[in-house]
Amino acid sequence: ADSLGAGNSAAIDGIAAPLKESTTKSHRDDTIRAGGFLCDQDIVSERISQATRQVDLLERWGVIFRRDADGIPLVRRAAGHTLPRLAGAGDALSRETQQVLEEQCMRHGVVRRGDQIPLQIVHTDEQIHGIIALDMSTGTVNSIQAKCVIIADGGYEGAWTGTSIGLGLDMAMRTGMSARNLEFVSWTPMAVPGTNVVLPVGMLSDGASLHHPNGNPLEVEEFADTTSISIAMGAQNIALDARNMGESEKWWSQTSELVSTRLGINMARQTIPVSAQASTTLGGIVTDEQGRAISGKWSRWFTGLYAAGDAACSGIHGAGMVAGNRLLDALTGGHISGLHAAEHASKTTFSGRAALETQLGVSEADLDFEMAGAEEGPVQRAGPLFAKLTEIMTTHVGMNRDAEGLNAALEALNSLESSAANLHVDDSSRLFNSNLLDALRIKAGIRLAKATVHSALSRTESRGVHQRADFTETDSEQMYHTLVDIEGNISTLAIRKGSAGSWVLTPEE
């Protein structure tokens, strides 16, 4: 799993919380509207109600939030919000959050194993027995018996950017369960072309602004989310002007140093070229209000399996995401799934020892085959395949899609999958074998990309961050969750209303 301090941490530059509002209603409604009314409204209500508590916990654990004149965490207006509610610590929030969470793990004696690569979930009839994992530090493949498994992993936006690939989501889908809403991908307007540098969107709330080459500001609707801003940019040459951030500039000192070191640009004196790039995948493992993984329908739990973070599709984002809700969802999802998993584990016993031993042998054989490579055909390496994957997804599964492009993507991905079968792993040792890890990630990325294309083809409308050039209108008949399995089979799942069975916010036509 990628930590908060790794991967696309630029997308985590604040946590949304209604600290200066008398109720959570406005935050809840902004979330549901940004989600194109595909959010599960009871889950949105519950998780938004925990936002202030999460900020309080982070602050008490040691995160140094920016403060206002009253001494409470400063909240700012941000993408997708109608009121100021984004609390943060500039570009230090990701690192500080990671640090305080690690400190809490040590304080409570949580046993952690580093450098573990998940290979397979072991189950019988969707009843968890444990997992098979490769220990990179010893080179051994181990079976880990477990009453519960929580997949707290990153998403798979690396299919577009070459960064994070969600091995946890891929592992879950290989059990046969379906993932939800994979067609929805959030975009950031703050990527620097030709590099892997992504600037924090929070800078736009601190005085930075986007401009055309002639100096005119980029015109976007008020309260627009990051994907709407990205769509407005299109393929134009856009520059970020961060020269007028004033006192706020000090909160983005790490970003300023990165821009200076990597790009040779003085952010206080020069503008920075930026473009749109995939930021966060919104789909993932279907979870309910308790973080339990759901298989096919709300009444069917994959017993003992939970998910949180970007690997989960918790129902809070729907078809779009407002700033700060990503970190909020990760924290509340982890808390809720952890509580329920602990309760479930206290009431059940370990099982499936024979199944674990059998799968251990299978996984070791699969890993040996992976490292041996194909005996026939041209030798392939992960680097060029990753580059081809990102090219396919950026070209055909971008912000504007149509059936022709999506079908072309599917054909290209099938060809890429055939090429990946001939992957060669140069390093013959399992010890910290980055070649092997890259091979596992590219194959997982291709599988997840194919599932995404199938899901995008099935949604013949434009809603939220899923925009179809051939179906430009929103279709009220398609107000449901899309489910897709690893083979590309499509089904649907009903949207959850409020806890009383009625809409919390009635869908707008």
The closest of 196, 204, 208, 250 to 228, measured between CA atoms, is: 204
The domains located in the chain, with CATH, are 360-493 (1.20.58.100)
The closest of 255, 367, 376, 325 to 78, measured between CA atoms, is: 325
Q: Which residue has the tokens 């304080």?
A: 107
- Asked if residue 43 lies in contact with residue 313, where contact means CB atoms within 8 angstroms, the answer is no
Residue at 74: amino acid letter = L
The set of residues, in sequence order, having a beta carbon less than 8 Å from that of 220 and lying 6+ positions away, is: 228, 229, 232
Return per-residue pLDDT of the chain as tens, 509 residues: 444 334 445 557 799 999 999 999 999 999 999 999 999 999 999 999 999 999 999 999 999 999 999 999 999 998 899 999 999 999 999 999 999 999 999 999 999 988 999 999 999 999 999 999 999 999 999 999 999 999 999 999 999 998 889 899 999 999 999 999 999 999 999 999 989 899 999 899 899 999 998 889 998 877 788 888 888 888 788 999 999 998 899 999 999 999 999 999 999 999 999 999 999 999 999 999 999 999 999 999 999 999 999 999 999 999 999 999 999 999 999 999 999 999 999 999 999 999 999 999 999 999 988 888 666 667 788 899 999 999 999 999 999 999 999 999 999 999 999 999 889 888 888 999 999 999 999 999 999 999 999 999 999 999 999 999 999 999 999 999 999 999 999 999 999 999 888 999 999 75
Query: CA triplet 220, 225, 230: central angle to 5 degrees?
Result: 65
pTM equals 0.94
Whole-number Å distance between alpha carbons of 420 and 440: 10
Consecutive H or E run containing 117: strand 116-123
Consecutive H or E run containing 104: helix 93-107
